Amino acid sequence: MNDSVARFAPYVFALLRVVVGLMYAQHGSQKLFGLPDGGHPAPELFSLMGLAGVLELACGLLVAVGLFTRPVAFLASGTMAVAYFMAHAPNGPLAIQNQGETAVLYCFIFFYIWAHGAGIWSLDGMLRRNTAIPAV
């Protein structure tokens, strides 16, 4: 990669993490509260949809701010894999046919975030800097 472009990689990744986290949180907010579109009634909290809404909202916000990023991104990735196989795959073999593209993309983006870590502009990074033991 050209060094003049590569220097932007940490910033682009941070933007990806924040945007994906906020978009994912909107899915949870929509499931739980009918917001932002108001078109969905709130599910029973102790149903699969209720659990999905809680996980999406919480994981999305935590990934966006970069707190507990690796375990939360791994949980979100797994949640999307389960969602794909439970809700989409029975409707056809290809994601384009069963409307599962979003679930697949979220699954792999969160899997990448898990592997990469929070990066810059994250609470994880800020906490790591504040708890580092100074060299003597």
What is the pLDDT at residue 122? 97
Domain that residue 33 falls in: 3-131
12 in a domain, yes or no? yes
d(CA 49, CA 130): 38
Number of domains observed in the structure of the chain: 1
- Tell me the per-residue pLDDT of 56-83, one tens digit each, with 9 for 90 and over: 999 999 999 999 999 999 999 999 999 9
136 in a domain, yes or no? no
What is the pLDDT at residue 1? 54
DSSP characters over the chain:
--HHHHTTHHHHHHHHHHHHHHHHHHHHHHHHH-TTT--SPPPPTTSHHHHHHHHHHHHHHHHHHTSSHHHHHHHHHHHHHHHIIIIIGGG-SSHHHHT-HHHHHHHHHHHHHHHH---SS-HHHHHHHHHPPPP-
123 in a domain, yes or no? yes
Which of 16-25, 37-46, 63-72, 92-101 bottoms out in mean pLDDT, i.e. has the lowest?
Answer: 37-46
Position 45 confidence tier, pLDDT thresholds 50, 70, 90? confident
What is the pLDDT at residue 134? 59
> Structure pTM?
0.89
127 in a domain, yes or no? yes
User: Comparing C-alpha atoms, which of 83, 81, 69 is closest to residue 113?
Assistant: 69
